[in-house]
Amino acid sequence: MDGIDHRPRPPIAAIRLHKQLEAVWGTPPGWARLSAVNHNIVGRRFILTAFVFFGIGGVLAMLIRAQLATPRSAFLGPEVYNQIFTMHGTVMMFLFAIPMFEGFAIYLLPKLLGARDMAFPRLGAYGYWCYLFGGSILVIALAIGLAPDGGWFMYTPLTSKTYSPGINADIWLIGVTFVEISAISAAIEIIATILKLRAPGMSIDKMPLLAWYLLVTAFMMLVGFPPLILGSVLLELERAFGLPFFDPTRGGDALLWQHLFWLFGHPEVYIIFLPAAGMVSTMLPTFARREIIGYGWIVVSVVALAFLSFGLWVHHMFTVGIPHLALAFFSSASTAVAVPTAVQIFAWLGTLAAGRPQLKLPMLYLLGFFSVFVIGGLTGVMLAIVPFNWQAHDTHFVVAHLHYVLVGGFVFPILAATYYWLPHLTGRVPRHSLGAPAFWLILIGFNLTFLVMHWTGLLGMPRRIASYGAETGWEWPNLLSSIGGFIMAIGFALFTVDVLMHWRHGKRCNRNPWGAGTLEWATATPPPSYNFASLPLVASRLPFAEQPDLGARLAAGAGYLGFVRDQALETLGVDAISGRIEQIVRLPNRSFLPFVSAVATGVFFLAVLFKLYLVAVGALVGVIATLLLWAPSSGGRCDRGPLPVGNGKTAVLHSEAASPPALWALWLALAADATAFASLGFGLLFLWVVAPNWPPPELLPWSPWGTALTIAGFAVALVASYLATTRRILARANRREAALVFAGLGQIGGLVGCAVIISAAPDPTRHAYAAVTLVMLLYAGLHAAVGLVFSGFGLWRSRAGFISPARSLDLRLGAIWAGFTAAIAVTVVLTVFGLPLLMRTTS
């Protein structure tokens, strides 16, 4: 009746199926581990590495507290202290919080959704290596005393060449950009997985709440990180080549950095909080022993939070001199954000009140989360009020607030989540013995450290000072804070010991030890590399409620795809809304290529760091080449048509499907791209309106030939790439290949056009106007170059037999890229030639 075969099967069949699946999905031990792309392995690596970085960040925090414990302390000099607090903030935000959530997402999502892996396993592996290499660059720099020291928000002009001459600031810019690439690729992968790779029947309203939270968070990353990446690139261009974006003497403005940074920086806080809140929404109903209250309300409030949190970046800049009315906009947005947060808190409390809560160990940490996070939220509303903000700005009150939010809103939920999902990884249940004392030490230590810090802040102690005098009246609160910090550290140490002991000595348990309702507990614990021997049909939000024996039945192969076909890794793709079966997604197998690509990427960044630009160009070519080498193993060389997926259903392969995950990925990448471009536009507008020394001394001269060539080139590329995907041309190899050649020629034309315009442009080192103009033209040119790669790739795929009217994905991707590139190019041409016209008429 539910389309699933209910006949009992002999266990021998289950074991045989397991062996067959493991043979294709598994990763062998030894050096071959480096080739792992399986989400179980990649997710665990992310989590473990993030915990290591948390430890490093924690040690740095202890050093900070040791330094501040007594007045006039000579423990660390100001130079070292500056590096330490900068690295503490940087490590915690970029190397702990974001990757930790990525790790949980990568590990859990396919299981929550009833899939066998993430949509782009190699991308996940690549992202992990980028994270590891980028993070290592930062940590090594710290070890050799070259760490960035301008604070984690790197304010210009402090971090401009004049005031930070060494390579410290470059290390931050490059290390963080490296890590952000990994974050954006994770975001794309998370969205595509949630929207496409779900179990059949899991319509969008039956998704576990955690999937909703992660979906929204990933979208936030897609539009939140590009402004920071753009800002970092601009600052690096200023530092390396003297293009003056942030230098007020040459038409730049130091405040532009702050805008770009906080445009990312505030949403970042929610990017950290929302996944944790999603975990709370997953764990809490299990311990309350009832379904969560207000599923729909929570979804709406998460969406609201995502948007509102972008509209309040200026609350970090209340004291920089912005018109009052603008302050009022940002202040009201900042207070508004409390409302959707409160909706979720009431949903959680309501669920607890209506259920029969059990105080298991993870629940204890959840209670810690509630109490700490709510206080942080309240001080946040205080800080959103402009007059109070002017008083407390950059004092330890702010440091206290941010830790209540971050530790309350992220660390406590992560500790709870670790205990909650630990049985999934180890097949053992945690006990109260050490976990509970660890909790109390952390909670008491935390409050002692940071509650007191509110008081220190109100007494006027600024943040980021290495020492203070004995007559200030700050010595007692600081000593108390430091003692609290060390109590907390003991708590964390105990937590670590407990987790390690659990690994070895925990009590063995069956699957689903907490009695949860979500699908991740339907796998064996620890899970096999393919998660599910066959995929479930989902009919409700809590699949275990109707089918307590679900796990055993899936293991016996009673669901979909309970077999191995063509030695391929297969999982199901569904319609994003209804959860109807749409395609069979074939996933790539283990491969060293992601590792190699990441190494090439690392060489690129290091070369930029040491200003070896020829090496950098070579490495970039290497990155592109190795990324292209990923391709041959995806797609098919002949049309297969619909294939059986079990239980009497059929579906086509993703290479023949109308909307395969890769198509979604391209659209998402373009969304991130467009955001970076829009941030550049914002930067130009901002400088024009606000920066001193405008209008510029020299404007871009009108270039009819350059413009004509640019526009014509991009138009040809667009039309040819599009034609290559139309039925009549696609069907014949020679026609479509001719179209692709034209597309490539068009991109070359556009590239040359951009170069012609640039050749006449004013000197970019003299004024920010010329610098932004140059970057805009380069932006268009870069897109043309990638377009060229796309058409060459299409040609290669066509020659190699991957293209047919049914298998047109590669060409469709190229056509979408060409369209986007043309749109960018038109916007660039209008802007770079339109702005001079405007400036002539207004001045």
The residues binding ligand HEM (CB under 6 A) are 58, 61, 64-65, 85-86, 88-89, 92-93, 96-97, 151-152, 399, 403, 406-407, 410-411, 449, 463-464, 485, 488
Burial call 65-75: b when 16+ CB within 10 Å, e when fewer: bebbbbeeeee
Q: Residue 266 binds which one of ligand HEM, other proteins, Cu ion, none, with CB within 5 to 8 A depending on kind? A: Cu ion
Least distance to ligand HEM from the beta carbon of 460, Å? 14
Cβ–Cβ under 8 Å, residues 67 and 76: yes
* Closer to ligand HEM by Cβ: residue 379 or 626: 379
Using alpha carbons, select from 653, 656, 634 the residue that is nearest to residue 645. 653
Whole-angstrom Cα distance, residue 217 to residue 209?
12
Q: Is 831 in the site for other proteins (CB under 8 A)?
A: no
- Report which of 434, 381, 445, 454 is spatially closest to residue 411, judged by C-alpha positions: 445
Check binding of 545 to other proteins (CB under 8 A). Answer: no
Interface residues for other proteins in 686-715 (CB under 8 A)?
A: 686, 689-690
Does residue 590 belong to the site contacting Cu ion (CB under 5 A)?
no
Which partner in other proteins, Cu ion, ligand HEM, none is near 464 (CB below 5 to 8 A by kind)?
ligand HEM
Instruction: Give the HSE-up count for residue 176: Cα atoms under 13 Å, Cβ half-sphere.
Output: 33
Residue 208: CB minimum distance to ligand HEM, A? 25
Q: Which helix (H) or strand (E) holds 508?
A: strand 507-508
In this structure, is the dihedral angle defined by the CA atoms of residues 145, 147, 152 and 153, taken in order, positive or negative? positive
Of 392 and 399, the one with the shorter C-beta distance to ligand HEM is 399
Closer of 442 and 835 to ligand HEM (Cβ): 442
Residue 97 contact, options ligand HEM, Cu ion, other proteins, none, Cβ 5-8 Å cut-off depending on partner type: ligand HEM
- Residue 170 tokens read as 């470059």
> Per rule CB under 8 A, is residue 460 in the interface with other proteins?
no
Q: What is the CA radius of gyration of the chain?
A: 28
Nearer to Cu ion, 122 or 266 (CB): 266
DSSP state for residue 509 in the 8-state scheme? -
Residue selected from 297, 486, 563, 630 as contacting other proteins according to rule CB under 8 A: 297
Q: Are strands 643-646 and 428-429 parallel, antiparallel or unpaired?
A: unpaired
The per-residue b/e assignment along 224-261, b for 16 or more CB within 10 angstroms, e otherwise, is bbbbbbbbbbbbbbbbeeebbbbbbebbbbbbbbbbbb
- H-helix or E-strand containing 572? strand 569-574
How far apart CA 560 and CA 169 sit, in angstroms, is 53
**Cβ of residue 403: shortest distance to ligand HEM, in angstroms?**
6
- Which range binds other proteins by CB under 8 A, 29-37, 78-86, 295-303, 667-675? 295-303
Q: Which residue from 20, 203, 467, 496 is in contact with other proteins, where contact means CB under 8 A?
A: 203
Nearer to ligand HEM, 64 or 194 (CB): 64
Q: Which is nearer to other proteins, 296 or 387 (CB)?
A: 296
Please tell me the total number of residues recorded for the chain in this structure.
843
Q: Is 199 left (phi over 0), alpha (psi -120 to 50) or beta?
A: beta
Can residue 841 be called a binding residue for other proteins (CB under 8 A)? Answer: no
Region binding other proteins by CB under 8 A among candidate stretches 145-153, 323-331, 361-369, 779-787: 323-331
Nearer to other proteins, 440 or 686 (CB): 686
Q: Which stretch binds Cu ion (CB under 5 A): 10-18, 106-114, 259-267, 439-447?
A: 259-267
- Could you tell me if 95 and 135 are in contact, meaning their C-beta atoms sit under 8 angstroms apart? yes
The residue among 67 and 693 lying less far from ligand HEM, judged by its C-beta, is 67
CB 524 within 8 A of CB 425: no
Between 266 and 586, name the residue whose CB sits nearer to Cu ion.
266
- Closer to ligand HEM at the Cβ: 148 or 661? 148
Contact of 22 with 589, CB cutoff 8 Å: no
For other proteins, the binding residue among 48, 320, 326, 381 (CB under 8 A) is 326
Smallest distance, other proteins to C-beta of residue 815, A: 20
Q: Which of 266, 454, 511, 586 binds Cu ion (CB under 5 A)?
A: 266
CA-wise closest residue to 169 among 110, 280, 82, 105 = 82
The binder of other proteins chosen from 249, 567, 759, 842 (CB under 8 A): 842
CA distances (Å), origin 801, targets 467, 480, 737, 744, 812: 69, 71, 12, 20, 16
154: left (phi over 0), alpha (psi -120 to 50) or beta: left
CA distance 742 to 729: 13
577 binds other proteins (CB under 8 A): yes
Q: What minimum distance in Å lies between the beta carbon of 341 and ligand HEM?
A: 18
Residue (678 or 782) nearer to other proteins, CB:
678
Residues 61 and 619: beta-carbon distance below 8 Å: no
Pick the binder of other proteins from 10, 30, 321, 323 (CB under 8 A).
323
- Applying CB under 5 A, which residues contact Cu ion? 266
- Applying CB under 8 A, which residues contact other proteins? 203-205, 296-297, 299-301, 303-304, 306-308, 310-311, 323-326, 328-329, 332-333, 336, 340, 575-578, 685-686, 689-690, 842
